[in-house]
Every structure is written in C-alpha cells, then in structure tokens.
Amino acid sequence: MNYLLVGIGAGIGGSLRYWLSAVVYKILPTYFPFGTLAVNVIGSFILGILIFGLDEKELLSPTLKLLLAIGFCGGFTTFSTFSFETINLLRDSEFLFAGLNIILNVVLTMIGVYLAYLMVK
C-alpha cells in the first residue's frame, strides 16, 4: 500500500511539474532552464510546509506524508532534470548559465524550505 501511495503522489507531482514547466517556458526565455528552477523552488517550499508545518506538529499522518512529501514532492521536483540541463549547458560551453543554474537551484530551493520553516513557526 505504501508503494501505491508514493506512486500516486509521484504521478500527480510529475504531471504538475510537466504542466508548470511548460507554462514557465511560455512566459520566460528558453535559453535558461527557468521551468526546472521554478518547480524546484516551489517543490522545496511545499516540502518545507509539509515537514515543518504539518509533520513536526503531528498534523500529517504517515499515510499523507508518504503521498505528499515523498510521492508528490519527489515527483514534482526535478533534481535529475536539473543535473541533465546543467551538463547540457556545460557541453554547450555555457559556463555562466551552468554556474548560475547550480547556484540558483541550490540557494533558492534552500530559501524556499527556510521560508516555509519561518512561515509555519
């Protein structure tokens, strides 16, 4: 049953990631992976709310934690895509964009989790 919950959450998260990335790429230029950055920041913020706001206060059941934190957030965030896009930027000698992609994804996702932590405390 646990695997099914994680799978359902990941399916929903992955579908939402695909949709949101497409929306971002319609608004912002495609020369930089803004879609991946957006889902990583938003996913990190959501995970922070789930863990710091709900789980630590024992408002998140183990079942919902599997579905939302592990399944949904795991399917929604895109670390493997981030890594792939960074390697492609490096292969294309886009060193500035590759470095910027690494810094922005790491720093902004950490800020997302921290803001969620501050917000729920």
Question: Which ranges of 28-94 does DSSP label H, i.e. alpha helix?
Answer: 34-48, 62-64, 73-76, 79-91
Q: Which residue has the higher pLDDT, 81 or 22?
A: 22
pLDDT in tens, 52-100: 999 888 899 999 999 999 999 999 998 878 998 999 999 999 999 999 9
How many domains is the chain built from? 1
Query: Could you identify the residue written with the tokens 């996913």?
Result: 43
User: What is the distance between the terminal CA atoms of the chain, rounded to a whole angstrom?
Assistant: 32
What pLDDT, on the 0 to 100 scale, is given for residue 84?
87
C-alpha to C-alpha distance for 29 and 52, rounded to whole angstroms: 34
Q: Which residue has the higher pLDDT, 57 or 28?
A: 28
What pLDDT, on the 0 to 100 scale, is given for residue 5?
96
- Residue among 87, 45, 61, 78 nearest 5 (CA): 61
90 exposed, middle or buried (CB, 10 Å; 0-12, 13-18, 19+)?
middle
C-alpha to C-alpha distance for 65 and 60, rounded to whole angstroms: 6
Q: Which residue has the higher pLDDT, 2 or 81?
A: 2
For the entire predicted model, the pTM comes to 0.84
Domain range spanning residue 41?
A: 2-120
C-alpha to C-alpha distance for 74 and 68, rounded to whole angstroms: 9
What pLDDT, on the 0 to 100 scale, is given for residue 78?
82
Please compute the mean of the pLDDT values over residues 17-44 and round it to a whole number.
Answer: 95
Mean pLDDT of the residues in the chain = 94
